[in-house]
């Protein structure tokens, strides 16, 4: 029977478990189903579309900035959002928004990737740099304070830089490429550190709704491996070097643990996110209040305080 | 001769001091014979306990001697009991003993406070001070472990010796095979148990199911022998593992239920008096005080639980306070209504006035009734409940209803996937679990009807 089937290219080759017509090309990381490339593209995109619709992430006519670092997550996000916007008529104006931290040999190369994406996807690109906004590059900051804790400085700066860039573009929302692995990792880290305030909100798919420009994570339930696989099969152009200043020691523990979990039980990543969503935090626990900074008027963060440290 | 030499150099006072210290330590310090002693020379050799300043410090105790170290752990134990009213004088408590360091310490500490209570009772004239009763339960899991029978026999003998060697009051020891919850015929029960575990494919699910069966067995012993509280030796480290494991299994909603001092969702409430002590501390205490543990009974673990345990061990080496931080994080999650004991007024009246003081507990925000998973007894949250209810519509068979009354985690890792395996799984379960599912369906019809009404409304809207 199999011998007579002309479509069967190899003896013993399995067919896609979804369409049962084409040859299976991959084992899907999230479900371990063996499927073909076309079906993988379909389920991957359709799941993200479902997340966008179910959570009402966007409204027709909105201007959306995609946080673009040149890495795989933001590259795939830019590609997929463009596709879904066209296919399902979201009616969105999409932009690429990049932050230039001023890290020689790392960010300048990744920004070249984003500039190519701008051309390939037809999305306008805006780059904001630490040098322009704050007068310092990350190279200069590290020279002053050393490698220790430099990620904290950079994280605080980048967050405000993204807000400032979004304000310049006059967008309604910012979409970031945080994936399921990132969110599960954050849930774990907040448990390990005893950070109850963040634990309560780190699984939100939209954050900052009370602020000027909300942020959303369309890839909240999308596995990192699938993003890599999608980029690979679509032959998307992305930059994959890690930051040269990042010691990554502590996050590395949790990251490695999550990879081990995924190997034993792929669904564990979604289960961690579900736990994070289901936690009920006691209202008697005092939560830090969020206010507006007196000096610059933006949502209160540590930028101005850190600036004081740098100028001393 | 050495003293003589030193004497000529410095004087009789210093000589006497030096002699005293040498004798006290019982250590010959060769440097003293050649040079006059000085305070700087002495300090590096003798670290004294920061608390009593008398005894030598033992490593890994945080600067304490053996006696003060034990006293500090006992104080934590006592504090837990007093603050949360875990053991009262009219109780009859059952200690779950596994042979490990934690349950060994809890046995020792409970025995100590019982002895003191007995002395107080004996000393009082009017016998107003009743003394709580203590029993010890050991669950024999040799039906499902690969332990050698010789090793098991030796362990049982050691266990009986440990319990019998405790001074009066007498403690009854219950050694019960885990298959007894399946059948009074132990051979039949053994077969059912093994068949049941074989239907579970997931390694972690199998392990967790065994854990749930163990609790069923302990509850059975407690109920049949009229104990009113069950004492577990769960320490900070074990609870930290549980917090992470539960989070990884998607049980974020129910995990606060398992980590409080009191858990009264069972017929016999469960209390955790050693909750504030670390496994490392308890291990050390057993070594220092020669408390015998039954190491051969340690079961090997695998799957998610083992991975979490190894992960925490790695983190603990990097930062010793990690386990406490994890538990402290979980403490900020809202407990459930059954995480406190029901207040009984009868007991209060029999006690002298001064013993009626109670800690004012914060009011818990919780719904009056919580639906519990039929397998693991975890509370099921409202969203998951709605999913379960939609599955319930049109269900007719018992095993289908049972499946729908389990939490998502148990459905994934314990319940078999296909219908025939699920039916077999249901037929093998102990009766206590299957009756729980019946209660789940039969009880609180109003609540269910309300949920179904919500579904019906949304259905009609879709129809329009």
Least confident of A110-119, A269-278, B331-340, B388-397: B388-397
Q: CA-CA distance, B408 to A104, in Å (whole number)?
A: 48
Mean pLDDT estimate for chain A = 80
Q: Name the minimum distance, in Å, from the CA of B374 to any CA of chain A.
A: 20
Instruction: Mutation target for A interface from B208, B328, B329, B386: give the one with most A CBs within 10 A.
Output: B329
**Chain A residues in contact with B365 (beta carbon < 8 A):** 282-283
Residues 191-220 of B with CB under 8 A from A: 202, 204
- Residue A84 — left, alpha, or beta (φ > 0 → left; ψ -120 to 50 → alpha)? alpha
Q: How many CB atoms lie within 10 A of CB A236?
A: 18
Strand bridging mode A173-175 / A93-100: unpaired
Determine the average pLDDT of the residues in A192-196: 83
Cα(B222)–Cα(A303) distance, integer angstroms: 59
User: Which residues, other chains included, contact A263 with Cβ-Cβ below 8 Å and sequence gap of 6+?
Assistant: none
Of B325, B365, B381, the CB nearest to A192: B325
pLDDT > 90 fraction of chain A, expressed in percent and rounded: 19
Task: Indicate yes or no: CB of A188 within 8 angstroms of CB of B365.
Answer: no
Judge whether B417 is closer than 8 Å to chain A, CB to CB: no
- Cβ separation of A253 and B311 shorter than 8 Å? yes
pLDDT beyond 80 at A140 = yes
Give A281→chain B minimum CA distance, Å. Answer: 4
ipTM of the shown complex: 0.84
Lowest mean pLDDT among A240-249, A292-301, B385-394: A292-301
Q: Does B328 reach chain A within 8 Å, measured CB to CB?
A: yes
Alpha-carbon gap, residue A311 to B421, rounded angstroms:
69
* A288 at interface of B, judged by CB pairs closer than 8 A: no
Whether residue A1 lies inside any domain: the answer is no
In a domain, A34, yes or no: no
CA dist list (Å): B202 to A262, A273, B168, B198, B207: 14, 21, 46, 10, 9
- Cα angle vertex A113, ends A110, A117, to 5°? 140
Beta bridge partners, A35, equal A26
d(CA B69, CA B268): 32
Residues of chain A in contact with residue B334, where contact means CB-CB under 8 angstroms, are 280-282
In b/e form, how buried is each residue of A166-175, taking b as 16+ CB within 10 angstroms? beebebbbbb
Please choose, from the candidates B318, B315, B455, the residue with its C-alpha nearest in 3D space to the C-alpha of residue B385.
Answer: B455
pLDDT at B3: 33
Which of B204, B243, B362 is facing A191, going by the closest CB pair?
B243
Do A264 and B252 lie within an 8 Å CB cutoff? no
Does the annotation list A11 as a binding residue?
Answer: no
A145 inside domain = yes
CA distance B76 to B83: 10
What is the rounded distance in angstroms from the CA atom of residue A306 to the CA atom of residue A286? 25
| Residues of the domain holding A138 | 44-309
Min distance A263 CA to chain B CA atoms (Å): 10
A200 neighbourhood in chain B, CB within 8 Å: none
Q: Are the beta carbons of B413 and B249 closer than 8 angstroms? A: yes
As to burial, measured by CB atoms within 10 angstroms (0-12 exposed, 13-18 middle, 19+ buried), residue A264 is: middle
The string of DSSP codes covering A173-229 is EEE----HHHHHHHHHHHHHHT-HHHHTTTT-SEE-TTSSS-EE-TTTT--HHHHHH
pLDDT at A309: 55
Is B20 in CB contact (< 8 Å) with chain A? no
Alpha-helical regions (H) of B225-259: 236-248, 255-258
User: DSSP for A39-58?
Assistant: HHHHHHHHHHHHHHHHTT--
A246 annotated ligand-binding residue: no
Most A CBs within 10 Å: which of B208, B306, B333, as the mutation test of the A interface? B333
Residues contacting residue B334 through CB under 8 Å, at least 6 positions apart: A280, A281, A282, B256, B364, B365, B366
Residue A171 lies in a domain: yes
In the numeric block, the tokens 């769960």 are attached to B234
Residue A162 CA to residue A169 CA, distance in Å, equals 11
**DSSP symbol at B295:** G
Q: What is the pLDDT of residue B15?
A: 33
- B96 SS3 class: strand
A177 is in an annotated binding site: yes
Instruction: Measure the CA–CA gap between A254 and A192, rounded to whole angstroms.
Output: 9
Q: What is the C-alpha to C-alpha distance for residues A252 and A247, in angstroms, rounded to an integer?
A: 9
Rounded CA separation A37/A237 (Å):
18
The pLDDT score that the predictor gives to residue B249 is 92
Q: How far apart are CA A122 and CA A82, in angstroms?
A: 9
Smallest Cβ–Cβ distance between B412 and the set A193, A267, A275 belongs to A267
Determine, for residues A264 and B303 on separate chains, whether the beta-carbon distance falls below 8 Å: yes
Query: Residues in chain A, how many?
Result: 312
CATH value at residue A49: 3.40.50.620
Amino acid B246: pLDDT: 94
Are A111 and A83 a contacting pair, CB within 8 Å? Answer: no
Q: Does the distance separating the beta carbons of A278 and B304 come in below 8 Å?
A: no
- Which residue in this structure is represented by tokens 């690109």? A125
Contact (CB<8Å) B328/A194: yes
Question: Alpha-carbon distance B291 to A148, whole Å?
Answer: 46
Angle between helices B279-288 and B236-248 (to 10 degrees): 150
Q: How many domains does chain A have?
A: 1
Chain B CB contacts of A193 under 8 Å are 325, 329
- pLDDT > 70 in chain A, percent: 81
The answer on whether A200 is annotated among ligand-binding residues is no
DSSP track, B393-462? TT--SHHHHHHHTS-HHHHHHTS-SSHHHHHHHHHHS-HHHHHHHHHHHHS-HHHHHHHHHHHHHHHHHH
Chain A residues with CB inside 8 Å of B325's CB? 192-194
A132-144: average pLDDT: 80
Q: B328 to chain A: nearest residue by CA?
A: A194
Three-point CA angle B402, B403, B406, nearest 5°: 90
Pairwise pLDDT comparison (B418 vs A78), residue with the higher score: A78
Check if B243 contacts A (Cβ < 8 Å). yes
Contacts of residue A312, Cβ cutoff 8 Å, sequence gap at least 6 = none
Q: What DSSP letter does each residue of B306-370 carry, written as one string?
A: HHHHHHHHHHHHH-TTHHHHHHHHHHTB---TTSSPPP-HHHHHHS-GGGG----PPPP---S--
In sequence order, what E strands does B182-256 have?
229-231
Please say if the pLDDT value at position A11 is more than 50: no
A60 is in an annotated binding site: no
Model confidence over A165-182: pLDDT tens digits?
A: 998 888 898 999 989 999
Which chain B residue has its CA at the smallest distance from A281's CA? B333
Of all residues in chain B, the one with the smallest CA distance to A188 is B244
Q: What is the pLDDT of residue B362?
A: 41
Place of tokens 């909750």: B275
Chain B CA closest to residue A196: B329
Using a CB–CB cutoff of 8 Å, tell me whether B301 touches chain A.
no
Strands (E), B133-266: 133-140, 172-177, 229-231, 262-263
Max mean pLDDT range (A16-25, A237-246, B10-19): A16-25
**pLDDT score of B81:** 87
pLDDT tens column, A43-57: 899 889 989 999 988
The annotation status of A51 as a binding-site residue, yes or no, is no
CB atoms within 10 A of CB A293: 15
Q: How far from B73 is each of B102, B114, B377, CA to CA, in Å?
A: 12, 17, 31
Do the domain assignments include residue A211? yes
Q: Is A161 annotated as a binding residue?
A: no
Q: How confident is the model at residue A302, as a pLDDT? A: 53
Round to whole Å and give the CA distance between B190 and B110: 33
Tell me if A12 is assigned to some domain.
no
CB A148 within 8 A of CB A120: no
What residues have CB less than 8 Å from B439, skipping those under 6 apart? none
CB < 8 Å to B255, chain A: 275
Residues of chain B with C-beta less than 8 angstroms from the C-beta of A271: 247-250, 409
In a domain, A208, yes or no: yes
Q: Flag whether residue B329 sits within 8 Å of chain A, measured between CB atoms.
A: yes
CATH class of B39-365: alpha beta
Measure the CA–CA gap between A18 and A26, rounded to whole angstroms: 12
Q: Does A281 touch chain B (CB under 8 A)?
A: yes
The reply to whether residue B244 touches residue A187, judged by beta carbons under 8 angstroms, is no
Task: Give kind and range of the element (H or E) at residue A64.
Answer: strand A63-67
Map out the domains of chain B as residue ranges.
39-365, 371-456
The reply to whether residue B247 touches residue A193, judged by beta carbons under 8 angstroms, is no
Mean pLDDT split into 10-residue runs, chain B, 464 residues: 34 34 33 38 58 72 80 88 84 88 87 81 72 86 78 79 75 83 81 85 88 88 88 90 92 90 88 88 81 68 85 83 86 84 49 40 48 85 74 68 85 84 83 67 44 42 35
pLDDT for A49 = 93
Q: How far apart are CA A227 and CA A178, in angstroms?
A: 11
Query: Is B243 close to A280, i.e. CB distance below 8 A?
Result: no
Give the confidence band of A219 by pLDDT, cuts at 50, 70, 90.
very high
Name the DSSP class of A242.
P
């Amino acid at each position: 029977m199999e011998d007579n089937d002309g479509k069967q290219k190899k003896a013993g080759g399995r067919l896609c478990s979804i369409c049962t017509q084409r040859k299976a090309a991959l084992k899907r990381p999230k479900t371990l189903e063996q499927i073909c490339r076309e079906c993988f593209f379909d389920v991957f995109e359709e799941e993200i579309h479902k997340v966008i619709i179910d959570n009402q992430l966007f409204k027709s006519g909105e201007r959306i900035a995609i946080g673009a670092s040149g890495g795989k997550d933001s590259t795939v996000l830019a590609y997929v959002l463009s596709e879904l916007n066209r296919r399902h008529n979201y009616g969105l104006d999409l932009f690429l928004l990049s932050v230039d931290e001023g890290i020689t040999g790392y960010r300048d190369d990744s920004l070249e990737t984003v500039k190519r994406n701008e051309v390939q996807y037809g999305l306008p690109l805006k780059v904001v740099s630490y040098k322009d906004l704050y007068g310092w590059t990350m190279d200069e900051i590290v020279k002053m304070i050393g490698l220790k804790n430099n990620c904290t400085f950079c994280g605080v700066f980048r967050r405000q830089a993204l807000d400032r860039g979004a304000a310049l573009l006059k967008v309604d929302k910012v979409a970031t490429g945080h994936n399921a692995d990132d969110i599960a990792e954050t849930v774990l880290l907040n448990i390990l550190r005893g950070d109850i305030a963040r634990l309560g909100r780190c699984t939100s798919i939209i954050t900052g709704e009370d602020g000027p420009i909300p942020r959303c994570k369309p890839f909240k339930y999308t596995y990192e491996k699938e993003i890599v696989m999608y980029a690979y099969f679509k032959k998307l152009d992305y930059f994959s070097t890690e930051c040269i200043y990042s010691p990554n020691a502590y996050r590395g523990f949790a990251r490695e643990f999550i990879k081990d979990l995924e190997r034993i039980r792929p669904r564990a990543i979604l289960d961690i996110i579900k736990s994070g969503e289901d936690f009920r935090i006691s209202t008697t626990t005092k939560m830090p209040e969020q206010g507006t900074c007196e000096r610059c008027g933006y949502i209160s963060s540590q930028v101005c305080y850190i600036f004081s440290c740098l100028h001393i | 001769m050495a003293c003589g030499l030193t004497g000529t150099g410095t004087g009789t006072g210093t000589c006497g001091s030096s002699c005293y210290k040498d004798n006290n330590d019982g250590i010959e310090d060769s440097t003293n014979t050649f040079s006059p002693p000085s305070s700087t020379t002495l300090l590096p050799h003798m670290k004294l306990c920061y608390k009593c300043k008398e005894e030598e410090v033992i490593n890994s105790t945080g600067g304490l001697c053996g006696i003060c170290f034990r006293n500090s752990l006992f104080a934590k134990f006592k504090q837990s009991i007093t603050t949360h009213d875990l053991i009262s004088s009219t109780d009859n408590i059952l200690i779950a003993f596994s042979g490990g360091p934690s349950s060994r310490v809890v046995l020792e500490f409970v025995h100590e406070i019982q002895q003191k209570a007995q002395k107080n009772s004996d000393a009082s004239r009017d016998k107003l001070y009743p003394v709580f009763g203590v029993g010890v339960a050991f669950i024999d899991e040799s039906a499902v472990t690969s332990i050698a029978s010789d090793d098991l026999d030796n362990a049982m003998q050691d266990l009986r010796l440990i319990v019998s060697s405790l001074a009066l009051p007498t403690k009854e020891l219950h050694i019960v095979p885990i298959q007894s919850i399946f059948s009074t015929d132990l051979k039949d029960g053994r077969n059912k148990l093994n068949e049941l575990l074989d239907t579970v494919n997931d390694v972690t699910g199998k392990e967790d199911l065994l854990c749930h069966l163990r609790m069923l067995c302990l509850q059975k012993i407690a109920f049949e022998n009229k104990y009113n509280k069950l004492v577990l030796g769960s320490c900070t480290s074990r609870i930290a593992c549980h917090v992470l494991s539960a989070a990884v299994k998607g049980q974020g909603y129910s995990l606060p239920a398992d980590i409080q001092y009191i858990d009264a969702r069972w017929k016999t409430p469960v209390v955790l008096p050693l909750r504030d002590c670390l496994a490392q501390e308890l291990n050390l205490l057993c070594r220092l005080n020669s408390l015998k543990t039954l190491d051969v009974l340690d079961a090997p673990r695998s799957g998610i639980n083992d991975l979490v345990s190894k992960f925490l061990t790695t983190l603990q080496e990097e930062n010793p306070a990690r386990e406490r931080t994890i538990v402290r994080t979980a403490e900020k999650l809202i407990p459930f209504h059954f995480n406190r004991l029901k207040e009984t007024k009868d007991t209060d009246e029999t006690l002298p006035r001064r013993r009626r003081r109670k800690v004012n507990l914060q009011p818990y925000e919780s719904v009056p009734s919580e639906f519990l998973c039929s397998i693991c007894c975890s509370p099921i949250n409202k969203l998951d409940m709605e999913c379960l209810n939609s599955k319930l519509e049109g269900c007719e068979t018992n095993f289908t209803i049972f499946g729908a009354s389990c939490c998502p985690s148990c459905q994934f890792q314990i319940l078999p996937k296909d219908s025939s395996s699920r039916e077999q799984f249901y037929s093998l379960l102990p009766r206590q679990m299957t009756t729980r599912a019946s209660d789940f369906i039969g009880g609180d019809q109003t609540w269910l009807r309300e949920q179904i009404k919500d579904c019906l409304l949304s259905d009609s809207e879709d129809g329009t």
